Amino acid sequence: MAKIGEQTWDELYACHFVMDVEGWRITLYNDCDELDYCEQAVSPVGQRWDFSSGDRTDPIALLSTWEHRSLELRLKAL
């Protein structure tokens, strides 16, 4: 997992955060220093999935409380 771009999670505060996970380009929304939702995911071969914050298929909504918090901590460490 690596961030794409210069700014850290804390510097963005309320904005989209783009990262690379094993070739997948994933855009997450940082809402006032809290992981809110997944905006978009693009596979290594270019397939694209777009999610809306109210969509029940948002992968962030499927995380357990522990997984959500663990991911937030990892994002802050990037």
Do 28 and 15 contact (CB within 8 A), yes or no? Answer: no
Does the structure show a pLDDT above 80 at 53? no
Q: What pLDDT is stored for residue 54 in this prediction?
A: 60
How far is residue 37 from each of residues 4, 45, 52, 54, measured CA to CA in Å? 17, 23, 8, 9
pLDDT per residue over 24-51, tens digit each?
A: 999 999 999 999 999 999 999 999 998 8
Does the structure show a pLDDT above 80 at 59? yes
